Amino acid sequence: MKMEKIKSDLKNIGHNWKIVAIMTIFEFFIIIPVFNLVSLIFIFKILDSFQSVNKTIQSEDLRLYISRFKAVTILRFIASLVLIPMIVFMNVDIDFGLPLLFGSYIIFFLIILVIRIVAGIIERKAWEAFTQFVIMKQKEYPFLYITQDATINLDKAALCEILSFLFIPMFIGWIFRLIGYFKLAKLEDTTTYGGLKPTVSSYTSAPSQSPEQTPEKVSYCPFCGEKLSNDAKFCPNCGTKLS
């Protein structure tokens, strides 16, 4: 029953990661906070399901992952909100003058950059804790192995976010993040991954040996050599009395 509850929670987690992955695509090409808000909602649903799992598993590493990734998600959402006044300010039809416009752009950019760098650092710590959780619990819950490749990709995505001031890592990180989220979505198929099957050692038993048979004692007549039965008192051939 405990295993079925964990698998059910992980199935929901996988389904929600798939939605987050789709929202990540929209976030990159359509810069409006609504997609970030949808991601925020579903990531909090994911973390809530992980908390349900942790009530059974009782893992300190998983608890650290939940708290750290929650902080990362909130920081990312704040960064998306900062984009709104930045976009409005840059597109409003008012002549603020080039120095003010450029200075405001730099301020907004630096705020977003600092938030992303801090989020990237915390996220790396989060995936480090999650990886440790998988390593510690993989023998008990073998189906967790499907998350290993995902955590590697997402750790790389977090590193690229720290280096996002170089611009190119920002795009590379988005690719790693997208791959990682879709790999985590495989948790939706948790029900197809069973535990380790117990191995039954088969052996061929040695054939039982039949008890040794004592060879039957054969008697012969001392005079004529006739074969005698065990209880014979006289030789049936020559009539000699046997002692």
Closest CA to 15 of 51, 55, 46: 46
3-state secondary structure of 241: strand
Please name the amino acid found at residue 207.
P
Mean pLDDT confidence for 36-52: 94
CA atoms of 107 and 121, how far apart (whole Å) = 21
Bridge partner list, 228:
219
> Which region among 28-32, 119-123, 200-204 has the lowest average model confidence (pLDDT)?
200-204
- The yes-or-no verdict on residue 174 having pLDDT over 70 is yes
In the chain, the DSSP E strands lie at 219-220, 227-228
- pLDDT-based confidence at residue 102 (cuts at 50, 70, 90): confident
Alpha carbons 106 and 98: distance in angstroms, whole number = 12
Most confident segment among 20-29, 82-91, 102-111, 229-238: 20-29
Pairwise CA distance, residues 30 & 212, whole Å = 91
pLDDT band of residue 166 (cuts 50, 70, 90) is: confident
The two three-digit tokens of residue 193, written as one number: 């991954």
In whole angstroms, give the CA distance from residue 144 to residue 130.
11
Contact 112, 82 (CB under 8 A): yes
d(CA 238, CA 221): 9
Q: Give SS3 for 234.
A: strand
pLDDT category of residue 238 using cuts at 50, 70 and 90: low
pLDDT of residue 192: 54
Provide the token pair at 50.
Answer: 């992980």
Which of 3-12, 85-94, 97-106, 164-173 has the lowest average pLDDT? 85-94
- Three-state DSSP state, 228: strand
Cα 122 from chain centre: 21
Q: What is the pTM of this model?
A: 0.72
Residue 36 has what pLDDT? 86
